Amino acid sequence: MSDLFSATILTAVVIAALKMATPLLISAMGELVAQRAGIWNMAVEGTMLIAAYAAYVVVVLTQSPGLALAAAVLAALLTGAINGLLCVVLKLDQFVTGLALNLLAAGLTLFWFRAGLQGEGVPTFRSLSPIVEGPFAGLYPMMFVALLAVPLIWWFLERTRPGLELRCLGENPEALDLRGVDVRRGQILSLLFASAMTGLGGGFLMLAFSDRFVPDFTGGRGWLVVVAILAGNWRPGRVLVAVLFFALLEALAIQSRVGSSLLPEQLLLAAPYLLSLALMAVFRSTSLEPAALGIPYRRR
């Protein structure tokens, strides 16, 4: 472990952790909004995967990371729209629609990837590049977007009237309905927002982390987002802490692959999952889960 604490490695680990945290955090801030509005979006993993694939295809075709990010967001919005149609309009179980979309996303991306829709051979790839000079060298502009999203989402949820209404969607949709607020519209909009944010995260994951798409590219990061929201007890600040913690563990796991470490890599990779179970077990009494989370709203 000694070489882990030398200054250069420590800096590398912190930068890597911030980079890992970026897609998780962007997606988590979106999903937090959807969950506070009462939507258990289980399709985060699939949405992120579809977005990453869309970013990949577009960046290979156009060599433009900007267009690729836009494609990622669009693909995610489409996934979110389908989910909204199924679970908000048709009131199918949110758990079931989420799983169906995850399966569809895994199947579609794998199928198109194997069929070589992105062209033959190893594609040339222009990825997002980090800031080169100055005090922020090595960091990505998207990191600041992600970090800024946390206070913004907190301010929106806790300090604005639409934010209050949105929270009410998750706590007591009937009260809003009685006051003439369109529950369905609010929930669909929040689901679309969540999907777009996850799309942005998935696009960043593709463009900043890798030079090619591989099957199951997201590898459980979407689920980690859902876990971060639970472990963070539905509060933006705590979700941020959970995400940073997961990202640090993942950065350490990667470091342990390069250097030597006392702990096996697999244990470090599994650590976010194990530790969040422990965290949730300890802090269960203070759960701030929205009361109507996951219950399709039906007028009585």
- DSSP state at residue 190: H
How far apart are CB 27 and other proteins at their closest, in Å?
16
Determine if 122 is a binding residue for other proteins (CB under 8 A): no
The single-letter code of the amino acid at 69 is L
State which residue, 105 or 197, has the beta carbon closest to other proteins. Answer: 105
Query: Could you tell me which residues come within 8 angstroms of residue 5 by beta carbon, excluding any fewer than 6 positions away?
Result: none
Applying CB under 8 A, among 7, 122, 132, 281 the residue interacting with other proteins is: 281
The single-letter code of the amino acid at 146 is A
State which residue, 237 or 264, has the beta carbon closest to other proteins. Answer: 264
State which residue, 128 or 243, has the beta carbon closest to other proteins. Answer: 243
Is 94 in contact with 206 (CB distance < 8 Å)? no
Name residues contacting other proteins, limited to 137-176 (CB under 8 A). none
Is 25 in contact with 147 (CB distance < 8 Å)? yes
Structure tokens at 55: 């970013």
Alpha-carbon gap, residue 117 to 61, rounded angstroms: 10
Span of 12-20, 104-112, 205-213, 237-245 interacting with other proteins by CB under 8 A: 104-112
Determine if 61 is a binding residue for other proteins (CB under 8 A): no
Q: What are the counts of helices (DSSP H) followed by strands (DSSP E) for the chain?
A: 11, 0
How far apart are CB 285 and other proteins at their closest, in Å?
9
Is 41 in contact with 196 (CB distance < 8 Å)? no
Determine if 78 is a binding residue for other proteins (CB under 8 A): no
Burial bucket for residue 282 (CB in 10 Å: 0-12, 13-18, 19+):
exposed
Span of 184-192, 193-201, 202-210, 220-228 interacting with other proteins by CB under 8 A: 220-228
Span of 17-25, 177-185, 243-251, 271-279 interacting with other proteins by CB under 8 A: 271-279
Q: Which residues bind other proteins (CB under 8 A)?
A: 42, 86, 90, 92, 95-97, 99-101, 103-108, 110-112, 114-117, 215, 220, 223, 226-227, 230, 264, 266-267, 269-270, 273-274, 276-277, 280-281, 284, 287
